[in-house]
């Protein structure tokens, strides 16, 4: 059985990838038109890159401790985190289809984790 401490790598990957997406949205909203220089120096764009870089480092550590077939489905939880954060930060709506999709994703992750022999 894997250490719960190792599972933190997966959680960090989910949170960092979600934050990268949210910062990317802020960067898009605060940049006018397509100006590469303005985009590169945008603090939100830089935060997005830092989050995605850190996510890549933690993902590498995740794959040391877990098989890809176990770890990768958890990245689908990014959809859940981004949906909730976009609701609060950008006032984007949440539909019944969104909720149904999240239930399906969560069920699939639970089934995969159960059949791989690891418990969550």
Residue 72 lies in a domain: yes
Residue 56 lies in a domain: yes
pLDDT of amino acid 116: 61
Residue 9 lies in a domain: yes
Residue 111 lies in a domain: yes
Domain span at residue 69? Answer: 4-115
Q: What would the two tokens of residue 47 be?
A: 């935060």
- List the chain residues with pLDDT less than 50: 1
Q: pTM of the full predicted structure?
A: 0.81
Q: What would the two tokens of residue 11 be?
A: 């959680």
Structural domain total, the chain:
1
Residue 120 lies in a domain: no
DSSP 24: H
Residue 50 lies in a domain: yes
Return d(Cα 21, Cα 85) in angstroms, integer: 10
């Amino acid at each position: 059985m894997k250490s719960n401490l190792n599972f933190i790598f997966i959680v960090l990957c989910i949170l960092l990838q979600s934050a990268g997406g949210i910062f990317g949205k802020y960067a898009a909203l605060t940049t006018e038109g397509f100006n590469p220089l303005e985009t590169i120096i945008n603090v939100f764009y830089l935060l997005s890159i830092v989050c995605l870089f850190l996510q890549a480092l933690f993902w590498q550590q995740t794959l040391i401790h877990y098989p890809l077939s176990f770890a990768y489905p958890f990245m689908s939880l990014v959809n859940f985190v981004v949906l909730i954060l976009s609701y609060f930060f950008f006032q984007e709506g949440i539909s019944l289809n969104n909720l149904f999709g999240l239930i399906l994703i969560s069920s699939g992750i639970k089934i995969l984790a159960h059949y791989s022999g690891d418990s969550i």
